[in-house]
Chain A
Amino acid sequence: GDSVTQMEGPVTLSEEAFLTINCTYTATGYPSLFWYVQYPGEGLQLLLKATKADDKGSNKGFEATYRKETTSFHLEKGSVQVSDSAVYFCALLIFYNQGGKLIFGQGTELSVKP
Chain B
Amino acid sequence: EAGVAQSPRYKIIEKRQSVAFWCNPISGHATLYWYQQILGQGPKLLIQFQNNGVVDDSQLPKDRFSAERLKGVDSTLKIQPAKLEDSAVYLCASSLDRTGFGYTFGSGTRLTVV
A-B contact count (CB 8 A): 62
In the complex, which residue of chain A has the Cβ closest to the Cβ of B38?
A106
- Partner of A42 from the list B56, B103, B107 (CB cut-off 8 Å) is B107
Chain A residue contacts of B31, Cβ below 8 A: 99
Asked whether A43 lies within 8 Å of B42 as measured between CB atoms, the reply is: no
- Cβ A4 vs Cβ B99 within 8 A: no
Judging by beta carbons under 8 Å apart, are A101 and B56 in contact? yes
Interface residue tally on B, bucketed by range: 20 to 34
A70 within 8 A of B: no
Cα-based distance from A95 to B93 in the complex (angstroms) = 17
Report whether over half of chain A's contact residues are helix, strand or loop; otherwise say mixed: strand
Chain B minimum-CB-distance residue to A41: B107
Partner of A101, one of B45, B91, B105: B45
Instruction: Select which of A43, A93, A99, A103 is within 8 A of B56 by beta carbon.
Output: A99
Chain B residues whose C-beta falls within 8 Å of the C-beta of A41 in the assembled complex: 107
Are A105 and B42 closer than 8 Å at their CB atoms? yes
Could you tell me which A residues sit within 8 Å of B by CB distance? 4, 32, 41-46, 89, 91, 93, 95-96, 98-107
